[in-house]
Structure 1
Amino acid sequence: MFNHKAYIFDLDDTLYCEHDYVKSGFYSVASFLAKTYSFLHVEELTRQFIEAWEHYGRGKVFNHVCNKFGIQTDIKQLVNVYRNHEPSIHLYEDAVFCLKGLMEANIPIGIITDGNSSMQWNKLRALGLDKQISCIIVTDDLGGSEFWKPHPLAFQRMSDCLKVNMEDCVYIGDNPNKDFITAKKLGLHTIRIVREIGDHMQTNLDQGYEADKKIYSLMEIR
């Protein structure tokens, strides 16, 4: 039994594991480099990327590893390979069942996601969501990063797309830094999904930033 007229989801770490996307991207970059440098092995280079990411964060992974192996290459080109690769990712099992249940109940579904437009659309296509969900907003498409959450425009556009008033919608996301503060101000109900893996799982902010409700599986959604 679903309690709301429409359900809007975040994408990364809500419907699938973003760490899987990162590792998929690293593998694609490693494969690209291995074609040019015969002394490089794809699996080992991928492992090095992952270790650098875990140690330094995402910003300088390619710089650290290329310096370590003496690779002379254009880092911007590697970033483009990463951003434009076809990801090897899959929906969380609970996301599959949740979306299926909503569709069978003929309840409108939307997705609002931040990030580089080509990256996010590659993810959506890889997950098959572009064919399942008719109302998808990649906030980067609205005019760049200034329209990423918590900017209100995506929520307003989504309400129009779903043809449901915002107070009758619920937004489900994972990041209290940006996912819920504007949604709540606009009158949407909010739910935070907390998973075992994710960049924001340990983040705890004051009540203004937190969701109305916290869950640990999308099977708990009502």
Structure 2
Amino acid sequence: MTFAEPTFETDLDTEGFTPTEREQEAIAAECDRIRQLIEEFPTQILHINVEYNSNSEEYEIKLALVLPGQTFATGDVSESWEQSLEKSVQKMIRRIEHYKATMSGEPEQARMAAGTTMEVEPNRRMDGKQVAKAVEQGNYLEFRKAMYPIEESLRERVGRWLQRYPQIQAKIGNRFTIADIVEETFIMAFDNFNDWQPEMLFGQWVETLIDPAMKAIARDPEGELEAISFQQTWNEV
């Protein structure tokens, strides 16, 4: 008995933007970065939406990646579609890497090593060298591992913070989850690590990013909420 090799399927939908042959090749090259990470999955479908807004003169990128039992979405808006696509793909790669690590059981092993059986507070002093090294190397997976000691307490903080935003809380479980907000907070911490001032405990600084992460979803300045809606649409297909 033989089995067909998994096929990486992509579809590109554009509005107000017609990519040239060279631009299509550039898009394909970015997609290939994702393909290399998911070769072992039997289902691999990547939906790409590029929309140009002539009023704001900005490009909005939305990506939705469908894997078995799991769909990830990212989005970005800027004056350059190349820049937005690259940023969206990079965010997607970070989510894939973390997802694969979760499947392998690495997070649980790392949490045990971090001693998370004790009470963990968001203002706990972190291993700054480990965090800084991960950021310097552009290694989001290692960064996420360094975050395990505060992940559960951050999740609890997000849950309490949601009470301040009933309009967001009402969408939990429908449009997005607490885990999405937690991940958005960590991505913000990774991307803006250089803004952290050492005189503040790292966990405290990460906690200050909860509100911007929630407001990013509520106001959708970067297209994140529409990306989530885009993901929901493909989940229903």
TM-score normalised by the shorter chain: which range applies? under 0.3
Structure number with higher relative contact order (C-alpha < 8 Å, ≥ 6 residues apart) = 1
The TM-score, its normalising length taken from structure 1, stands at: 0.26
- How high is the TM-score relative to the length of structure 2? 0.25
